[in-house]
Structure 1
Amino acid sequence: MDAESIKHLLIGVVAFGFLFEKLLSFLNSRRSLPAVPKTLEQYLDEKKLKRAKLYQKANFRFGLISGTFSFVLTILMIYFGVFGWIDSWLSGFVENPIFLSLIYFAVIFIGSDLISIPFDYYHTFRIEEHFGFNKSNRATFFTDKLKGYVLSIVVGGGLLALLLWLIHQIGKGFWWQFWILASIFMVFVNLFYTAWILPIFNKLTPLQSGELKEKLIAYTAKVNFPLENLFVIDGSKRSSKANAFFSGFGKRKKVVLYDTLIEQHTPDEIVAVLAHEVGHYKKKHILIGMLSGVIQVGILLFILSQFIHSQNMSMALGGSEMAFHLNIIGFTMLFSPISMVLGIFMNMISRKHEFEADAYAKETFAGEPLAEALKTLSINSLSNINPHPWYVFVNYSHPPLIERLKKLEG
């Protein structure tokens, strides 16, 4: 395929992805308001239901504007060869091909993020704040940005440098060697995320002794899940939304509870949430997710290896000669439909796993407190209780609330 044909293909793929995503979002936003389900009558009334719909529509309009801006900018950059122009401009200052690629990606990343800052700012301090979710201040917002830059340069830049070095040294066969290294890194991050990365942005403190901790420890002992690493994260410094998550393996496994979760839920509801997370561990969902991620990375790298030396790909993006960084950018655009299909498949598995974890919590603790916790979490976060089925099929990693409640309360 010649450079001009690839250029048109790139524009077509980007356009298809944008239109498909916005069509699903439109269908979801236009979904009619349902009657308040009987199971939610104690938590939800028509006024709250309308407020949730307003929140969904506000996010849809915001996504449409920000997404359209990004889409148009990307199309213009492809059509007028701006990606290639940036490469030619930087080539006048940097000769080393690996350094050139690293600087190129830094320029693209920082430029893209700077353009997105006004949109992120508006979403945080207008939409999220208007609906009562935002708890962060301007200092936290911009400090998070700077910390994100540093982390991206150190971790992302290091991995990218290693990838580029292997490409230059080995050629087309680089993919399987980097795949091994990337897989090791993924396991490493899972083990040490809460100890090394999360504290950069949030404060973690051990859960204090009391009724909640006693109930959590008693439950984990009952299901043979020894656990001493129970932490509370100060999620309230950024948002009123609540959450909890599990990370690590073996002795390094940790459960992290958001302080907002503790504030908004009873001890039994929090134990039920933990039981759900333990269910993921016991059913080996975490291991399956890790292996699935490793396989996806392998597929991505193998396909990348087929494009990495393409002269026409670089020229399609406006380059004057073959450049690995241009080919990587072109590849990420062409890979997006495959990524979407893989994402749909992974979401199907994830929704199945969520039902299984719910069933485990119901079996080993109780279904009612988990159902109550899900209701509170959903209503407090203004979640959509009547999402469009197509939107759910493509985007939801968790089953809709009503479906989960039917199984928990049935």
Structure 2
Amino acid sequence: MDQDTIKYLLMGIISLSFIFEKTISFLNVRRKTGPVPGTLEEYLDEKKLKRSKQYQNTNYYFGLVSGLFTFALTLVFLQFGFFGWLDEWLRQFGFSDLVLSIAYFGVLFIGSDILSIPFDYYHTFRIEAEYGFNNTTVRTFFADKIKGYLLSIVVGGTLLFVLLWLVLEIGNDFWWIFWLISALFIVLVNQFYSALILPLFNKLTPLKDGELKNTILNYAQSVGFSLENVFIIDGSKRSSKANAFFSGIGKRKKVVLYDTLIEQHTPDELVAVLAHEIGHYKKGHIKTGLVTGILQTGIILYLLSLVIFNEQISFALGGNISSIHLNIVGFTMLVSPLSMILGIGMNLISRKHEYEADDFAKLTYAGKPLAEALKTLSAKNLSDINPHPLYVFVNYSHPPLLSRLKRLE
């Protein structure tokens, strides 16, 4: 394809993706919630249900405005060749090809993040605060930004350097070598995320000795799950929303409970939530997620190797000469439909895994306390209890609440 065809193909892909995403979001937000389901009457009333819908609507319109801004800006950049202009401007400094590419992505990253700050700030301090979720201070907000920049430079910059060096030194065969490096990186992140990265943003405290810890450890022992690392994370530092997650494999595995989760739930419900998380491990979901993530990365890298030296992509983005970084930017746009399809597939697997983890908790502990915990979480977080099926199919990594309750109850 010539450069004009590629440029308009890119604009078409971006436009169709935006229209599709906002259409299913519109269908979801316009879907009526109906009366309060009988199973939720103790947790929701008409007033709370209405407020939940208002929260969904507010987030929808905010996402529409911020999405329109990004969409329009991307189209303008493509139409007027801004991506190529940036490449030409950086070349005047006489950088080597490797440094030029790193500098190019650095400018794009910083520029896009600066443009997103007003939206992030508004969402945190206006929308989340209005609905009673925000606990983030302005200092924490900007401290997180700075830490994020430093982490991106150290980790993301290192990976980017390795990728670009392999492309320049090896050529098209770079993909399988970088795939191996990426696979190792994914495994290491899974193993050490809660020990090395998470503490940069949050404080992890071991669960204190007492009835809750004893109950948790006794349950874990009853299902043959060796568990020593149960931690509390100060999630309330940023939000009143509650959560729990599992991290690591083997001896480094640990369960992390939000402090807000402990405040909002009974010990029985907390153990049921923990049983669900252990279910993910016992059913092999953690390893399955790692493998599928690595396979997906390999597919994307292989496809990138097919176009990494296609000069027409660089020209389509406004470049005067072929540039690896321009080709990578163009590729991320070209591959976005495939990324969406792969994401849908990952969500299908994830929803199946959530059902299986629920079943595990029900069989090895009890279904009722897990159901009660889900109801409390949904009510406290103003979750959508009746999402549109198409929106669920595309975007939900967890099954809708009522579907989970039907199986548990």
TM-score of the pair, normalised by structure 2 = 1.00
Q: Residue in 1 aligned with 2:176?
A: 176
Deviation of residue 34 (structure 1)? 1.1
Kindly state the Cα deviation for residue 33 of structure 1 after the two structures are TM-superposed: 2.4
Q: Is the 8 A contact 2:385 2:401 kept in 1?
A: yes
Q: What is the rounded CA distance, in whole Å, between the counterparts of 2:33 and 2:377 in structure 1? A: 19
Residue 348 (structure 1) aligned with residue 351 (structure 2): no
Partner Cα distance (1:95, 1:141) in 2: 34
Contact in 1 for aligned 2:33/2:385 (Cα 8 Å): no
Q: CA deviation at 1:94?
A: 3.5
- Give the structure 1 partner of residue 381 of structure 2: 381
The percent of aligned pairs where both chains have the same amino acid is 65
Q: How far apart are the structure 1 equivalents of 2:125 and 2:155? A: 29
Q: Aligned pair 1:218/2:218, yes or no?
A: yes
Per-residue CA distance 1:124-150 (angstroms, 9 max, x = gap): 000000000000100000000000000
State the distance in 1 between where 2:168 and 2:263 align: 53
Shift in Å, 1:190: 0.4
The aligned residue for residue 147 of structure 1 is 147
* Contact map agreement 2:354 2:399 (CA 8 A) in 1: yes
Q: Distance in 2 between matches of 1:102 and 1:204?
A: 34
1:95: Cα distance to partner?
Answer: 2.3
**Mapped contact 2:279–2:356 kept (Cα < 8 A):** yes
CA distance in 2, matches of 1:271, 1:33: 31
Give, in angstroms, the shift of residue 212 of structure 1.
0.9
Residue by residue over 1:23-68, the C-alpha shift from the partner in whole angstroms, topping out at 9 and shown as x without a partner, is 0110001011211100000000000000000000000000000000
- Partners of 2:57 and 2:332 in 1: CA distance: 30
Structure 2, gaps ≥5 residues long: none
Give the match for residue 231 of structure 2.
231
1:84 maps to 2:84: yes
Following the alignment from structure 1 to structure 2, what is the Cα–Cα distance between the partners of residues 314 and 16?
22
What is the rounded CA distance, in whole Å, between the counterparts of 1:265 and 1:192 in structure 2?
28
Partner of 2:133: 133
Q: Which amino acid aligns with 1:210?
A: G
Deviation at 1:211, TM superposition (A): 1.1
Question: How far apart are 1:210 and its partner, in Å?
Answer: 1.1
Please give the secondary structure, in 2, of the residue aligned with 1:383.
Answer: coil
Structure 1 segments unaligned to the other structure (5+ residues): none
Q: Which residue of 1 aligns with 2:61?
A: 61
Per the alignment, residue 159 of structure 2 pairs with 159
Match of 1:250 in 2: 250
Please report how far the alpha carbon of residue 216 of structure 1 lies from its aligned counterpart in structure 2 after TM superposition: 0.5
Q: Which residue of 2 aligns with 1:14?
A: 14
One-letter amino acid matched to 1:206:
P
Question: How far is 1:116 from its partner?
Answer: 0.4
Deviations 1:281-339 (A, max 9, x none): 01101110100000000000000001100100000000000100000000000110000
Give the counterpart letter for 2:306 in structure 1.
Q
Equivalent AA in structure 2 for residue 369 of structure 1: P
1:314 aligns with 2:277: no
Shift in Å at residue 77 of structure 1?
0.3
Query: Residue 73 of structure 1: SS of its match in structure 2?
Result: helix
Aligned mates of 1:138, 1:278 — CA distance in 2: 36
Match status 1:367 vs 2:367:
yes
- 1:200-237 CA distances to partner (integer Å, 9 max, x unpaired)? 00001111111111111011010010111111000000
CA distance in 2, matches of 1:26, 1:211: 47
Q: What residue in structure 1 maps to residue 299 of structure 2? A: 299
Which one-letter code corresponds to 1:13 in the other structure?
I
Q: State the AA in 2 paired with 1:76.
A: V
Q: Distance in 2 between matches of 1:159 and 1:234?
A: 30
Residue equivalent to 1:47: 47
Q: How many residues align?
A: 409
Task: Write the letter of the residue equivalent to 2:210.
Answer: G
RMSD between aligned alpha carbons? 0.5
Between the aligned partners of 2:349 and 2:110, the Cα distance in structure 1 is 34
Q: Find the counterpart in structure 2 of residue 402 from structure 1.
A: 402
1:96 alignment partner in structure 2:
96
Counterpart CA distance in 1 for 2:329 and 2:215 is 50
Could you tell me how far 1:365 is from its partner in structure 2?
A: 0.2
Q: Which amino acid aligns with 1:273?
A: V
3-state DSSP of counterpart to 1:172: coil
TM superposition shift of 1:112 = 0.2
